[in-house]
Amino acid sequence: MAAFNSVEVKHVHVITPAEPPPPCLLPLSAIDSQLMLRFPNEYLLIYTPSPALDRSTISSSFRAALSQVLVSYFPLSGRVRERPDASGLEVVSRSQGALFLEAVSDCYSAEDFDRPPPSIAKWRGFLTFPEEDALDGSPPLVVQLTWLKDGAAAVGVGLSHSLCDGIGSAEFLNSFADFAAGRLRAASELKPPPVWDRHLLNPQPQFCHRRYSSPPPEFQRVPDLCRFMSLFTDEPLVPTAVTFGKTHITSLKSLAHSTRRPGVPALTAFEVLAAHIWRSWARSLKLPPNQTLKLLFSINVRKRIKPNLPSGYYGNAFVLGCAQTTAGELAEKKLDHAASLVRKAKERVGDEHVRHVAETLSESRVCPDLIGVLILTQWSRLGLEKVDFGMGRPVHVGPICSDRHCFLLPVNNQTDAVKTMLAVPTSAVDKYESMVRNVAT
């Protein structure tokens, strides 16, 4: 079978729902269908070794659990395609099946994941069949169970972003794990039950054809004064990982609050941490002072639109918050300034803004402009750290590949801590790590 980066795939299984539903076509929403999401979210969870872990039993429980959870999440066993009229995407659901792979590695142990990988694709082998093209007929769900040399287990999951956002993915993975561990025995026990209802995030007739003066800020183009994208292609990217404990985050908040104007509400941990990472990243790249920069981050809109989305909605229910300034201002002004930009970006997102985004996406194939952009993905509060397949909670949660997007990740046994993973150009890595670890600037 296939081998990649010292991971050898032994078995490949096609898993279909235990109770196949009738064939159907399921349209995806305008937000689901956007070009930016036509790739898989790829998760890597590491579980420590235990003498009680019988490989055959665990593998069998994974296969059975996947078949059971797909009864309720049956679209994940279908195939995504473009609609015939090119108006968006749809799922062809005929229970074609998800993929489950069993693999082994004699080169990795659990402790290898305590530090970042030496290169951005070093852990690629833990999801051997990545979904390179969401529309090429490949399964939208791939799960790989890899046994490591010390008896630990790595679980790699590739899940089409067109079908699920981070919250939806985490709900699915926890349900999958509950079946594997025996905490759930029937689809009817899922609380809350998964909800499809993708039409709820399509443009509504009463809002259609409004005359907006400009597209949402994340889609607006800015001048490229420094061949920005070449900064990340002309030299290798180096993965970094920095953990911010409760004390570090409290220090950052104190620093930001020490210079904020009277009467301004207290800043949140997310606002100051995002601002600190953004400033450290920008200053390490030595950008022209007048280069416009953006920080893009997901904002959950389940409770921000009217009416609220139903509990259990697992589709893409987010829009991008966009904080914007220049490289010069980001470097020269204090932490509270950058944090206030993050806050204002969050405050702009309400029902009207979400409808604006949905209409923009339904009318054109726009993507966020990436010039001057740092994308921040928050996985630290999704519940991924609770995914227990009967092997205990994971000691590591993160992406399969580290890249120039910044991930905020949960930390094992530290509920108030956050680990950041970000790959930066070789020439900038020392300065970035020095600045991001220094919470006094």
From 161, 353, 356, 396, the catalytic residue: 161
Higher per-residue confidence, 132 vs 346: 346
Known active-site residue 165:
no
Residue-level pLDDT at 259: 81
Model pLDDT for residues 247-256, shown as the tens digit of each residue: 999 999 999 9
Residue 10 has pLDDT above 90, yes or no: yes
Q: CA-CA distance, 85 to 55, in Å (whole number)? A: 47
Of 399, 439, 395, 397, give the one whose Cα is nearest residue 423.
399
Predicted confidence band at 237 (pLDDT cuts at 50, 70, 90)? very high
Handedness of CA 247, 253, 259, 265 (dihedral sign): negative
pTM: 0.95
Q: Once rounded to an integer, what is the mean pLDDT over residues 318-332? A: 97
Set 224, 351, 388, 403: catalytic member: 388
Cβ neighbours of residue 287 closer than 8 Å, sequence gap 6 or more: 226, 228, 293, 327, 372
What integer is the mean pLDDT of 317-324?
98
Pairing of strands 7-15, 3-4: antiparallel
Residue-level pLDDT at 136: 65
pLDDT, residue 4, reads 55
Q: CB under 8 Å to 86, separation ≥6 — which residues?
A: none
pLDDT > 70: what percent of the chain? 95
Q: What kind and span of H or E run contains 62?
A: helix 55-72
Of 19 and 203, the structure prediction assigns the larger pLDDT to 19
Yes or no: say if 134 and 76 are a contact pair by the CB < 8 Å rule: no
Q: Could you read off the pLDDT of 295-307 as tens digits, one per residue? A: 999 999 999 999 9
Q: Residue 133's pLDDT is what?
A: 56
**CA–CA distance, 210 with 356 (Å, rounded to integer):** 9
Task: Specify the pLDDT at position 101.
Answer: 97
Tens of pLDDT along 25-71? 999 999 999 999 999 999 999 999 888 789 999 999 999 999 999 99
* Per-residue model confidence (pLDDT) at position 203: 86
What average pLDDT does this structure show over 9-35? 95
- Please give the order of strands across the beta sheet that includes 79-82: 24-27, 89-93, 79-82
Of the chain, the end-to-end C-alpha distance in Å amounts to 51
- Strand 396-399 relative to strand 40-47, pairing: antiparallel
pLDDT interval class at 263 (50, 70, 90): confident
Gyration radius (Cα) of the chain, Å: 22
The pair phi, psi for residue 227, each rounded to 5°, is 50, 55
Per-residue pLDDT, 135 = 63
Mean pLDDT across 404-411: 97
The 10s digit of each residue's pLDDT in 139-191 is 999 999 999 999 999 999 999 999 999 999 999 999 999 999 999 999 999 99
Section 234-249 average pLDDT: 96
Per-residue pLDDT, 371: 97
85 assigned to active site: no
